[in-house]
Structure 1
């Protein structure tokens, strides 16, 4: 795969690659192991400059700097703004803080960044979420054909005529026992 890291056993084979390898051996090796020659030579160069052990693990792909990261001073300003709005009795959610900072002409991070900052600083009290769907227990009658359920749906046909669709379901197996379409 294109972005998958190269397997350590392949990296070790590259790190131990002989200086006097026959012509075409690198291409054959790369074809066999589904890696590019550029990757092969990058690993080989790293093994020869930093040692075999360094070549066994890929380098981190994380950038050295994050220029778009929110500065600590801006985070502190946002927290102070939220605190002052809370003390004044105003709404102090991320949208309100964002709008207030804009009104005052301050540099403002996005609403999502403000929400993340407030969560990181422990200023948000978690609200109870909706019940998970897995907690709902649907009704299921214990025996088949002992209890039925009748559903009706009104449907408008072309030309404006209406009809009603009746469906009779078995409450145990959910099998459609019968269905009927009737004019209204």
Structure 2
């Protein structure tokens, strides 16, 4: 008989009718013949004497007498409701996000993230995903201090009526803080400078600015010197780019775009740039100050992470060589013969 397999009712009946004057040594052959252990035989015999013959004819339930880890129905209902509210608001609504939200609400019972995942699967509200790589397998580079590097990128958005526009998002690499955002009709260097200056006014000058190789951001790899590059270099900022056709270099900003669109899709569709800017500003406030960030230690908010570490030292601005020098001449910066300055 296989382990944990129920004992046949006929064997149970034979044990219940086992004569008290059975010859010595008869139990072992009986157990071997029917594939049960002597411990099981004597256990059933003892129960038969204590509770009667009917008590051993059917196997007892294996269900535990108590389930101290069972989650109350009220807690299950609250978890599903919190998840639905987060989803309706356009915010992350996975088990970790729901756990953080329920904790911040001060609810009496907050299931663990594993329990929440099981609750959502059983409720049919979770999206079944393929098994992912464990977080420990990812090695993401992070600058050691706020303002050591900012990432700037733009993403396209469609207004009511079908007209497209772009949303610039400027993010701090260390803390994931949304430094600034700006809505414009097209991706231009002027719009990029606007959002960068907005961030500098609020948070100071960064040491580096990471962008893609777009013509409005940093076309240096194409042999051109863009307006944004010239603008940030005057402040002493080092403009850097990712490899062509490799957006994972700006992975933090790409992930920020996805979080933004998740929020915007839950809002009424904007019809003007002003309406869209109001929605983006509301997202920035929630993202920076309310939403626990799962990529930060302790799942703190980006603003808390930004304030937890001293800012990187601001770079020295470059000297303005267009200022007149004694003698009335202008000292223009030398240009490489292979470099073309083009206003983009």
**TM-score range normalised by the length of the shorter chain:** 0.5 to 0.7
Cα distance in 2 between the residues matched to 1:103 and 1:53 = 54
Cα distance in 2 between the residues matched to 1:84 and 1:126 = 17
Query: Mean Cα displacement is larger for which, 33-42 or 14-23?
Result: 33-42
Deviation (angstroms), 1:9: 1.4
C-alpha distance 32-121 of structure 1, shift in aligned 2 (>3 A): closer
2:315 equivalent in structure 1: none
- Write the mapping of 1:11-90 to structure 2, written as runs, cut at 5 A: 11-90=12-91
Deviation (angstroms), 1:16: 0.8
Cα distance in 2 between the residues matched to 1:2 and 1:119 = 31
Retained in 1: the 8 A contact 2:96–2:113? yes
Cα distance in 1 between the residues matched to 2:92 and 2:127 = 16
RMSD between aligned residues: 2.8
TM-score calculated relative to the size of structure 2: 0.32
Deviations 1:96-148 (A, max 9, x none): 212333455655323342233234445x2768x9xxxxxxxxxxxxxxxxxxx
Deviations 1:78-98 (A, max 9, x none): 233223323433232333212
Q: What secondary structure is seen at the aligned counterpart in 1 of 2:22?
A: coil
Deviation (angstroms), 1:60: 0.9
Cα distance in 1 between the residues matched to 2:104 and 2:122 = 25
Runs of at least 5 residues in structure 1 that lack an aligned partner in the other structure: 130-184
Query: Mean Cα displacement is larger for which, 81-90 or 18-27?
Result: 81-90
Cα distance in 1 between the residues matched to 2:122 and 2:4 = 32
1:94 equivalent in structure 2: 95
| Greater relative CO, 1 or 2 (CA 8 Å, sep 6+) | 2
Retained in 1: the 8 A contact 2:120–2:126? no
Retained in 1: the 8 A contact 2:47–2:56? yes
Deviation (angstroms), 1:58: 1.0
Deviations 1:29-67 (A, max 9, x none): 223323222211111222333333331211111111111
1:113 equivalent in structure 2: 115
Runs of at least 5 residues in structure 2 that lack an aligned partner in the other structure: 131-344
Cα distance in 2 between the residues matched to 1:17 and 1:76 = 53
Q: What secondary structure is seen at the aligned counterpart in 1 of 2:49?
A: helix
Cα distance in 2 between the residues matched to 1:125 and 1:80 = 13
Q: What secondary structure is seen at the aligned counterpart in 1 of 2:32?
A: helix
1:158 equivalent in structure 2: none
Retained in 1: the 8 A contact 2:87–2:93? yes
Cα distance in 2 between the residues matched to 1:89 and 1:33 = 63
